[in-house]
Amino acid sequence: MKDIAISMLTICGIDELPTHRSNAVSHVLSMIDPDRDDPDVFTFYSPHERTLLRFHDVIDDKPDMVAPTPETVEEILRFGEGLKSTVDQRSTGHLLVHCHMGVSRSTAAMLILMAQAQPDLDEDSLFNRLRSIRSIAWPNSRMIGYADDLLKRDGRLVAALHRHYRAQLDRDPTFDEWMRSLGRGREVDQGWAV
């Protein structure tokens, strides 16, 4: 994401946040459950810009759960526009994106930001880059679907997501049971179907 002067990209879960406080993080995108306390670790980080989004990591509407919406993805894209609009104010930067475990919401958000910043890069290359940043990436399919529409990728982002799921399942078959236990069986089936 050189065109927005971000030279380092990090994805992590809440438990990993303390390990990054000395890494000169300049921008943080946090995605946590609505009822979870805001992590206080950021008071120990060097000065940075932070955006906090609150929603659950679900792919279907469920009672008492806040599912990601198109507006959620629009917020992520506004965050990305903010990075672009302040590019002249920095020569480098470190973007940290986190959610509860650093597996689904955060990896979806990072993929969305990369697709926004590099509109001419093909979708499989974006997912390859995502896996190099976070090997356990399993992006939230609902978020990627909304991003595909908003970024006018004409279904290519969703198709590449299914290929990404297959790559993850081939690399580590335990994703099947893990994701199914989290109510994400539809995504697993999409991966196996490729």
**pLDDT tens-place string over residues 76-107:** 999 999 888 776 665 678 899 999 999 999 99
Residue 185 confidence (pLDDT): 97
Question: Which domain range does residue 79 map to?
Answer: 2-154
Residue 192 lies in a domain: no
Q: Across-strand partners of 29?
A: 51, 97
pLDDT at 4: 54
Residue 48 falls inside a structural domain:
yes
Phi, psi (deg, nearest 5) at residue 51: -120, 135
CB 163 within 8 A of CB 194: yes
Domain count, the chain: 1
Q: Decide if 174 is inside a domain.
A: no
Q: CA of 184: how far to CAs of 26, 41, 100, 153, in Å?
A: 33, 30, 16, 23
- Indicate if the alpha-carbon torsion angle 53, 28, 5, 115 is positive or negative: negative
Give the CATH number, domain containing residue 127. Answer: 3.90.190.10
* Residue 192: per-residue pLDDT: 98
**Dihedral sign from CA coordinates of 41, 67, 63, 12:** negative
Q: Is 78 exposed, middle or buried (0-12, 13-18, 19+ CB in 10 A)?
A: exposed
Q: Report yes or no on 144 lying in a domain.
A: yes
Q: Is residue 160 domain-resident?
A: no
Q: Is residue 167 domain-resident?
A: no
Q: Tens digit of pLDDT per residue, the chain (194 long)?
A: 445 556 689 999 999 999 998 888 999 999 999 999 999 999 999 889 999 999 999 999 999 999 999 999 999 999 999 888 776 665 678 899 999 999 999 999 999 999 999 999 999 999 999 999 999 999 999 999 999 999 999 999 999 999 999 999 999 999 999 999 999 999 999 999 99
89 in any annotated domain: yes
